[in-house]
A and B are shown apart, each in its own frame.
Chain A
């Protein structure tokens, strides 16, 4: 009786058995990559806005402090989006007839808000608080990146739980002196981690990774 299987079947079966393992691993790896990609997290995607507001201009060129507009960042969970009135503090005088700024003037005239597109949008079951982070020496730039180089603002971090937990496990990598939190170009003098550890002790930083810290 002749051979049913050709000798190459051995090779084919070995390859397919091993291959299946690699294939499954590969698919899982790919899914992971997709899940972490900018496609899903929407990081590095500049958002269209009703008024093309440029942080690069206002922060980078003009040098306005973050807290001039985001007033409640040190006292509340929300950093706060400035009211139209804040824009008009300057734009009543500067570029007061620019057509680009017409939606701003219209909002000020009519009292109807400018409806901005959210850039940093956490899921509804996550409760993040700006004030405690800022008060413990986590700078704006740590999470939001160099907004002074962003024409239209994008999200710098993935905002995934993995990213949050990294810092909560090793806060020393994210802490800098409180008086520098709004400085985007701050550089640690020496070893960042050692400096961070010292500040974490000084500021009595107690990061928590309990679920109820953020989910409730």
Chain B
């Protein structure tokens, strides 16, 4: 990438050059170097620590050398010719007259309550793994443009995660499948109906013995009702479920502990001490948005609430009284949860059980511990003791969580610990499983409950030729099934296979029939949230491509063809609606609110069965992951593509992954020590071998990863997706087997000698090591509440040649609480969706041209092997003394009377002087025409309130000025002032942690003013006297003095 070498003198101070000439990092020397440092030191990546030439150049130039472009096939001479022509024509373009445009008003049927130019919001839900999260969808003239959380919905509370927000791009994805096909040829839907009718008629005599339905996890009462109808008519038919990221372990663990499968509900906010056994409860998953909200509220030592508590509220003292919580995390791959931990210990996944047993026995549970346990955990024995003591001291106010990927025994141990600590009923309680319609055996004939076994049973029957009709609803088993089941091969032996999916994917290609799936925003449906709350999903737009729903396809199997989803869903709820109420008004209320009131599951009393506790580990371990040599391989769902279903979503693919900051790819993630012993460095292509299966994957070194373990994220390496997803990354499913779905021992890694380029943003937009994130322990904070501000000398307000400028009226500002931020990226996607930000592609990201207006910087602190990890969201600082403004030769970036640093696209001529002069590196330049102006469906996606930028224009965060303007106009029309909290920026609205607060800093009572008055408040690079309007609240950790000596 960089052909020019960096400057001779390292720019970053006190950083020795510990890279060789090829830019390879010498990890051993780095480790020694770090060990010798005094005080806190933060670094962004190994490249920065080692001061590689590549990093030096990033630092010096913001955008790396253009060398690659000069040497590509276009060539320099040709480039100048083209430039010459466009320069000559540039002046003329201004002289064109505006072309004729037309207006098409409605004809006869004007939609209800639509006013042209005013958006309408509808409540519905978006599902992931069957679980619904309530959303409000903004529509402009009938086209949905933005998804926000539904504040009334218990799983959202107004926030939205990356998957929910990116669903809007999924709707307009130009690569969605558009027609029903038979063996690849386009066929009418009615043909399929005819075929299905004949098959089902033939099955009648056999009671449907050859009929199999395969779905993911289902919580939809309507779909469950239809399946019930199907299974009643064809009692020998079977319904199988498989979710590549299933929750089998969790249910098996609950069955072990309580004798019945239950879902756990956590009250994170009530827990003072939390122990996570590989549980990433702050990343998208059941109830995660709520977990983040409750967790973040307990990370503010001053007790000030983010968005919720009004200024000067009496509750402050009470909040402070509740105090900060303390989080211990044991995990192999660093996650967002681990990054927020007060104490994080890298532990290989297969060793978590030993730790769980050790902690359990220390808190007085009579659990069998293997002889080698003490030995293996010897060096961390003091850790275990400290955790156990802390948990015991906070009995009834503590919480132990087990990760979805951990074996059932770990879940059972977590249940036992919560029981022993008296946490049940206080910080955790249990409900009947939400997916109960699918889990119950009677009378549903779902078989069997365990999803992996369910799929195994199905493939066995397929291979035996017993399946005459296989209907696959919204799943992609050819890609996601465990490799040892050979699903693709078994599929060839099925009499007739029908696949319903949103893309013509790997499964469609091997099925007889493919039916396009209607998107969730196009169809009527219903689903339950993680707590059981039901939502009726309503369509926002007519299906763009004649998609069908799962309901319609199942209805076609039971002679109900032609029934629409609307009729089916309404019929179901006519039965379910509470008696004594007029149905129509109940229905409208449920649709309006986006949830069915009172449908959350009540707590369920369960009794802990203790008989399994004394059994030795070998008996309780359902899957023997033990010994054999080699490394451990860990499979995880991805923070961007999840299990592969979002692979074709450009917003998600380009989102820098938490911790690694990789984009567009997955990689074999490993600890620095592991990489050293294998003799590999970043971007080396290695051969991963588990048993007889192998896969070539690039290496990426992750400080803080457990040693002797390699993490590989699922969902990449799609063979048939779309223009975005096909071929991105490597397919981890090829190594994943049904007996070890989450981790396995026996991995062998061999070097291939080849390189595979990865696009990582971790050293992009670097600001040099100057106290960006500021962190203190609770004791330090109590001793010096203003520690963050005191770290650098801030120039006084009078340090200017010019008289102080007074901002009359509003003065917009923002405060970001680093203590609350969990680094989930929701703000980045929210901003991308609101502000029409384009996707640039892997090659452009590699040369530092990603366009995100807000980025989340990740800093490591301390040692290579177990560093502290900190996140810092960074939008435009809207400096009062903005360095970008005086250097613009055309006045394209100027200050507004309310303190916004306005960017005027139509004036910008693309000198890039402003970006060069911005110390925060928040300006983004359209080097190429990144916006897709031509694809019709993507034009529907855009927010009409924000200009769609073209090539050659600089852009940056505007504090969502379109929202400010809308609020200003509304308040002025009502002859009032803008209320505090009336304007939510897109990042603030999405943030589940309420870490971002925006408002008027001229109003001393506004929440943002209150936060800026907090002693933790500090300005980034304050010594430059830029006077940023965006300030940060320093993070405060709450370490256990037994483990970490107070500094």
Residues of A within 8 A of B (CB): 39-40, 42, 72, 75-78, 80-85, 88, 107-108, 110-118, 121, 123-125, 127, 129, 131-132, 135-136, 204, 206, 208, 210-213, 215-216
The reply to whether A211 and B904 contact each other, CB–CB distance below 8 Å, is: yes
The reply to whether A210 and B900 contact each other, CB–CB distance below 8 Å, is: yes
Separation of A115 and B103 alpha carbons in the complex (Å): 6
Separation of A111 and B972 alpha carbons in the complex (Å): 38
Within 8 A of A (CB), among B105-126: 105-110, 115-118
Which of A81, A112, A114, A212 interacts with B965 by CB under 8 Å? A212
Separation of A58 and B689 alpha carbons in the complex (Å): 81
The reply to whether A216 and B107 contact each other, CB–CB distance below 8 Å, is: no
Separation of A113 and B902 alpha carbons in the complex (Å): 39
Separation of A155 and B894 alpha carbons in the complex (Å): 31
The reply to whether A42 and B98 contact each other, CB–CB distance below 8 Å, is: yes
* Among B100, B107, B115, residue most surrounded by chain A Cβ atoms (within 10 Å): B107
Contact with A along B75-109 (1 / 0, CB 8 A): 00000000000000000000101101111111111
Which of B101, B115, B894 interacts with A72 by CB under 8 Å? B115
Separation of A81 and B902 alpha carbons in the complex (Å): 32
Known: A42-B98, A80-B116, A114-B105. 19 other contacts (CB 8 A): A77-B118, A80-B117, A81-B103, A82-B105, A85-B110, A111-B107, A116-B105, A118-B102, A124-B947, A125-B906, A127-B945, A127-B962, A135-B973, A204-B972, A204-B975, A210-B898, A212-B902, A215-B906, A215-B947
Given contacts A78-B117, A117-B102, A135-B972, contact A39 B897 (CB under 8 A): no
Given contacts A42-B98, A135-B973, A136-B972, contact A212 B961 (CB under 8 A): yes
The reply to whether A210 and B897 contact each other, CB–CB distance below 8 Å, is: yes
By a CB distance below 8 angstroms, the chain A residues around B905 are 125, 215
Given contacts A83-B107, A208-B897, A210-B900, contact A216 B115 (CB under 8 A): no
Q: Is B374's beta carbon under 8 Å from chain A?
A: no
Given contacts A84-B105, A212-B961, A216-B962, contact A206 B972 (CB under 8 A): yes
Separation of A77 and B140 alpha carbons in the complex (Å): 13
By a CB distance below 8 angstroms, the chain A residues around B898 are 210
The 4 closest A-B pairs by CB, nearest first: A210-B896, A78-B117, A76-B117, A113-B104
Closest residue of chain B to A78, judged by CB? B117
The reply to whether B106 and A113 contact each other, CB–CB distance below 8 Å, is: yes
Range of interface residues on B (Cβ < 8 Å): 35 or more
Separation of A48 and B115 alpha carbons in the complex (Å): 27
Closest residue of chain A to B94, judged by CB? A35
The reply to whether B902 and A210 contact each other, CB–CB distance below 8 Å, is: yes
Closest residue of chain B to A209, judged by CB? B897
By a CB distance below 8 angstroms, the chain B residues around A88 are 108
The reply to whether B965 and A127 contact each other, CB–CB distance below 8 Å, is: yes
Separation of A112 and B104 alpha carbons in the complex (Å): 9
Q: Is B969's beta carbon under 8 Å from chain A?
A: yes
Closest residue of chain A to B901, judged by CB? A212
Separation of A85 and B905 alpha carbons in the complex (Å): 39
Q: Is B958's beta carbon under 8 Å from chain A?
A: yes
Min distance, Cβ B794 to any Cβ of chain A, angstroms: 28
Contact with A along B421-456 (1 / 0, CB 8 A): 000000000000000000000000000000000000
Given contacts A117-B100, A216-B961, contact A211 B902 (CB under 8 A): yes
Given contacts A210-B900, A212-B896, contact A108 B97 (CB under 8 A): no
By a CB distance below 8 angstroms, the chain B residues around A129 are 965, 969
Q: Is B946's beta carbon under 8 Å from chain A?
A: yes
The reply to whether B108 and A83 contact each other, CB–CB distance below 8 Å, is: yes
By a CB distance below 8 angstroms, the chain A residues around B95 are 40
19 of the cross-chain contacts (CB-CB < 8 Å) are A42-B97, A76-B117, A80-B116, A83-B106, A84-B107, A108-B107, A111-B109, A113-B105, A114-B105, A116-B105, A117-B103, A123-B98, A127-B945, A131-B973, A132-B973, A211-B894, A212-B965, A215-B905, A215-B947
Min distance, Cβ A160 to any Cβ of chain B, angstroms: 12
The reply to whether A75 and B945 contact each other, CB–CB distance below 8 Å, is: no
By a CB distance below 8 angstroms, the chain A residues around B948 are 124
Which of B103, B110, B900 interacts with A116 by CB under 8 Å? B103
Contact with A along B38-81 (1 / 0, CB 8 A): 00000000000000000000000000000000000000000000
Separation of A38 and B387 alpha carbons in the complex (Å): 80
Which of A110, A111, A132, A215 interacts with B904 by CB under 8 Å? A215
Closest residue of chain B to A81, judged by CB? B105
Min distance, Cβ B90 to any Cβ of chain A, angstroms: 16
The reply to whether B102 and A115 contact each other, CB–CB distance below 8 Å, is: yes
Closest residue of chain B to A76, judged by CB? B117
The reply to whether A83 and B896 contact each other, CB–CB distance below 8 Å, is: no
Separation of A212 and B1033 alpha carbons in the complex (Å): 28
The reply to whether B946 and A216 contact each other, CB–CB distance below 8 Å, is: yes
* Among A88, A111, A125, A135, residue most surrounded by chain B Cβ atoms (within 10 Å): A125
By a CB distance below 8 angstroms, the chain B residues around A118 are 100-103
Separation of A215 and B908 alpha carbons in the complex (Å): 12
The reply to whether B108 and A115 contact each other, CB–CB distance below 8 Å, is: no
* Among A88, A113, A204, residue most surrounded by chain B Cβ atoms (within 10 Å): A113
Closest residue of chain A to B809, judged by CB? A206
Within 8 A of A (CB), among B922-980: 945-948, 958, 961-962, 964-965, 969, 972-973, 975
Closest residue of chain A to B102, judged by CB? A115
Min distance, Cβ A68 to any Cβ of chain B, angstroms: 14
Separation of A208 and B116 alpha carbons in the complex (Å): 25
The reply to whether B107 and A78 contact each other, CB–CB distance below 8 Å, is: no
The reply to whether A107 and B107 contact each other, CB–CB distance below 8 Å, is: yes
By a CB distance below 8 angstroms, the chain A residues around B945 are 127, 216
The reply to whether A76 and B115 contact each other, CB–CB distance below 8 Å, is: yes
The reply to whether B902 and A85 contact each other, CB–CB distance below 8 Å, is: no
By a CB distance below 8 angstroms, the chain B residues around A135 are 972-973
Min distance, Cβ B109 to any Cβ of chain A, angstroms: 7
The reply to whether A115 and B104 contact each other, CB–CB distance below 8 Å, is: yes
* Among A42, A125, A131, A211, residue most surrounded by chain B Cβ atoms (within 10 Å): A211
The reply to whether B897 and A121 contact each other, CB–CB distance below 8 Å, is: no
Min distance, Cβ A199 to any Cβ of chain B, angstroms: 14
Separation of A83 and B109 alpha carbons in the complex (Å): 8
Given contacts A118-B103, A211-B904, contact A40 B969 (CB under 8 A): no
By a CB distance below 8 angstroms, the chain A residues around B107 are 83-85, 107-108, 110-114
The reply to whether B969 and A132 contact each other, CB–CB distance below 8 Å, is: yes
By a CB distance below 8 angstroms, the chain B residues around A213 are 965
Which of B97, B958, B969 interacts with A212 by CB under 8 Å? B958
Separation of A42 and B95 alpha carbons in the complex (Å): 13
By a CB distance below 8 angstroms, the chain A residues around B109 are 111
By a CB distance below 8 angstroms, the chain A residues around B964 are 212
Which of B106, B117, B906, B972 interacts with A123 by CB under 8 Å? B906
Separation of A85 and B100 alpha carbons in the complex (Å): 25
By a CB distance below 8 angstroms, the chain A residues around B904 are 211, 215
By a CB distance below 8 angstroms, the chain B residues around A114 are 104-105, 107
Separation of A85 and B809 alpha carbons in the complex (Å): 45
Separation of A160 and B465 alpha carbons in the complex (Å): 74
Given contacts A118-B101, A211-B896, contact A125 B965 (CB under 8 A): no
